[in-house]
Structure 1
Amino acid sequence: MKSILIDLTQLPLERTGVGIYAVNYVRRLQAQAGQMRLHFLVLDDDVELLRDVRAIPNASAIVLKASLFRRFLFRVLLEQVIIPALALAKGIDATHSLHYSFPLLSFGRFKRIVTVCDMSFFLFPELHVPAKRVFFQFFIRRLPKVEGLLFISESTMNDFMRFFPGCEAERCVIPLGTDLARLQAPADENIVGELRRRFGIDRFILYVGTIEPRKNILGLVKAFERCAPAHPDLKLVIAGKLGWDYDSLLQYINASEVRDRIVLAGYVNEVEKHALLKSALLFAYVSFYEGFGLPVLEGMAAGVPTITSNISSMPEVAGSGAVQVDPNNSEQIVEAMRMLLDDPEARCRLVAAGHAQSRAFTWENMTAISVDFYRKVLGGRDVAARLGHLNE
């Protein structure tokens, strides 16, 4: 029986992109793992992941102290010393790192598989904190030396190969998914009512994501300012935790003539996010770059008319289920907003198209492809055959 060590210690407790991917991957592994022996590294403060890991047959949880291993130096020690030692001691066949960095030394004794979520550290280095930029660029440059690479979109894989055309690692695209049943279900009316009271909202455009330059929130705010006079009861809700380099954005919002109609909701959990999506008039996510664009998929699945960007991975995710605009063209963003705000029938058509598009992306498919990729890297079946079967 082949054994895989999956490192979950890189994940923050406040779930955003990679965290949502990891949680849903772990939950679907219960049905997909088959004859593999899975070992998980989990921090003791991550109660949700610990519960999900312990529900998987043939799985073991190696629980580490968060008070130590959420610190950078201990994080490096874990990845570069403890994980290789565990792999050698337990006869691990492969390790899987979910977020760029990985054990640099395997001594030829175990395979290394890494998920690549985006290439923004190379494409837009100026949009990252310098320390993170240096750290992640260091590891990304060494990814061609690992045995297996998983990419969350075709766009991300193509971007990677532009920088590393000689990469010989096994490669596979694993499009992310979403919980269709949950997102399409009605929201809890008590939660909806509480959020409406807390933020003073009724009709609103919604953004959900980290507050950082790459997300083009300033462009969204400026487009809202131009639409606001024609819709005096409309608000813009910006939900998400503060990332970095957001001071100029906050200053602009505070000086805006429609400041009282822009709501900074902060981080929202999955239940609150669901309630906001089900209540929003429009969902707008006009980022400059995404490795996948999970919020776009969630917006379509939840049945809210969605506006997104026409670059990087977002067209791959949105298809005909969302209005696509050039994020660098403010006029296009404004026109998309005005068209949907003024045309209820267009909104209805887009909701139907979004539902249809979102059904092509499921966590079950992503997990099945990933597990087959483990087998391929370890000398088993061809993952391409499995991918073809899932898309039939």
Structure 2
Amino acid sequence: MGKARILIDVYYLHVARTGIRTYITSLCEEILKREETDFEYIINPDFHATKSKQFFKGNTPKWKNILFQFLYFFRKQVTLPLLSYYHQADLVFSPDILSPLWSRGKKVSVIHDTFFWDNPEHYQALWLKYYLFFLKMGLKHHGEIITITNFSKERLREINAFRHIPKRVVYPSTGLVSKKEIRNQKPRFQYFLHVGVMEKRKNLGMLIEAFAGLIQQEEHKDLKLVLVGSKGPRKALDDHDHLINLVKMLHVEEKVMLPGYVTEDELSGYFNHAIAYVFPSLNEGFGLPILEAFSFGLPVIISNQGALMEVAGDAAIVLEENTKEALQSAMVRLLEDPTLRNELSKKGRIRLNEFSTEKFFLSLEDTFKHILNG
């Protein structure tokens, strides 16, 4: 008897730029480099070709967004089911949340967070209604859910549509690692770092206000704040323009840098030279940049948000309150206590071992075995 077949849908790589992109990329790269696996994996469409295509990426016009949505739904409900029978798949794996209504074998969706249900006002109402309908119906028969933190699992349990659908947690990994040639370069200035799209939930306004207060202190006046990331993908979610106006209002234009979307090498450089990573987000399903910061030995400050605390463990400073005063105090504490910085750096590297790519892949394979064996 041959190996069970897992069909992995990577079509979403046409547009993915954040956590889902890292999830798909780290999984596919691990599969492709392994000579032996417990399953036969069919990655469709071609991973490298899809990852490199730029047609649907970036700040695209509305007609491109509509075109992609049409192609995406057509693929999920027509192409992917047909591929499942063509490849005789035993399991159809959708790391981009949405599973088809019908297919051969089991269906597994990776639901990374509960943003759709937490903040429905941030999405176009009709689109969200249809999307959640297809998600619910796609998992109704022979469907299971994999999520990325116990925090997200508990939130999903509260949603009626998924109450009786099996849910399993598999921690993902980070694909970004410290590079020696970058590590040896000298920074031009000292700065705090944040990486991520400029969405309202990221709470970057509070970070900017805390930083503006920090540099009023004489001993910290030369510090800078680097906010790496592009505009939010949807107008209702985007906070970019507000942040630009806030920077101007606080007269910190020379101190706050917004380089936008950067290459992986550029991103590694920003991580490598930062004083610390600051993550004040109000809502996250995981918090991948925490792991990226750990991989560079950076101390980390996070908000008291469930998923972030689960990922960071005891290796980060957790704000008692999500206020600019508490954040500024934490930043000062890091700056003035080198022993604390070193301690957090060591703890971060230890914590990172729980999220290696190999551990992610083996945990995922083990989960597939449990799902297929009932």
Asked whether the two chains share a fold, i.e. TM above 0.5, the reply is yes
Structure 2: how far apart are the matches of 1:103 and 1:89? 15
Structure 2: how far apart are the matches of 1:207 and 1:350? 17
Equivalent in the alignment of 1:323: 317
* Cα shift at 1:69: 11
Matches of residues 346-385 of structure 1 in structure 2 within 5 Å? 346-379=340-373
Deviations along 1:225-268, one digit per CA (max 9) or x if unpaired, are: 11011211100000012114222222222322212101001012
Deviates more, 1:171-180 or 1:340-349: 171-180
Equivalent in the alignment of 2:58: none
Equivalent in the alignment of 1:172: 168
Equivalent in the alignment of 1:60: none
In structure 2, runs of 5+ residues without a counterpart are: 54-63
TM-score by length of 2: 0.86
Do the aligned partners of 1:32 and 1:367 also contact (CA within 8 Å) in 2? no
* Cα shift at 1:12: 4.2
Which SS does the other structure have where 1:356 is aligned? helix
Equivalent in the alignment of 2:211: 224
* Cα shift at 1:319: 1.0
Aligned match for 1:149, one of 145, 149, 169: 145
Equivalent in the alignment of 2:228: 239
Structure 1: how far apart are the matches of 2:99 and 2:139? 12
Structure 1: how far apart are the matches of 2:206 and 2:28? 36
Is the aligned partner of 1:210 residue 2:197? Answer: yes
Do the aligned partners of 1:318 and 1:357 also contact (CA within 8 Å) in 2? yes
Structure 1: how far apart are the matches of 2:303 and 2:96? 24
In structure 1, runs of 5+ residues without a counterpart are: 51-66, 381-392
* Cα shift at 1:47: 5.8
* Cα shift at 1:34: 2.1
- Judged with a 3 Å threshold, the aligned counterparts in structure 2 of structure 1 residues 155 and 33 are, in CA distance, closer, same or farther, namely farther
- Judged with a 3 Å threshold, the aligned counterparts in structure 2 of structure 1 residues 187 and 118 are, in CA distance, closer, same or farther, namely farther
Structure 2: how far apart are the matches of 1:189 and 1:35? 37
Structure 2: how far apart are the matches of 1:263 and 1:221? 11
Equivalent in the alignment of 2:28: 26
Is the aligned partner of 1:104 residue 2:98? Answer: no
Which SS does the other structure have where 1:284 is aligned? strand
What amino acid sits opposite 2:6 in the alignment? I
What amino acid sits opposite 1:255 in the alignment? M
- Judged with a 3 Å threshold, the aligned counterparts in structure 2 of structure 1 residues 144 and 104 are, in CA distance, closer, same or farther, namely closer
Which SS does the other structure have where 2:306 is aligned? coil
Do the aligned partners of 1:300 and 1:358 also contact (CA within 8 Å) in 2? yes
Equivalent in the alignment of 2:155: 159
Is the aligned partner of 1:11 residue 2:13? Answer: yes
TM-score by length of 1: 0.82
What amino acid sits opposite 1:17 in the alignment? G
Structure 1: how far apart are the matches of 2:127 and 2:201? 15
Is the aligned partner of 1:121 residue 2:123? Answer: no
Which SS does the other structure have where 2:191 is aligned? strand
Count of matched residue pairs: 353
* Cα shift at 1:48: 5.1
Matches of residues 327-342 of structure 1 in structure 2 within 5 Å? 328-342=322-336
Do the aligned partners of 2:156 and 2:163 also contact (CA within 8 Å) in 1? no
Aligned match for 1:274, one of 258, 263, 268: 268
Deviations along 1:337-358, one digit per CA (max 9) or x if unpaired, are: 1111222222122111212222
Aligned match for 1:93, one of 90, 93, 101: 90
* Cα shift at 1:269: 2.2
Identity %: 27
Do the aligned partners of 2:136 and 2:162 also contact (CA within 8 Å) in 1? no
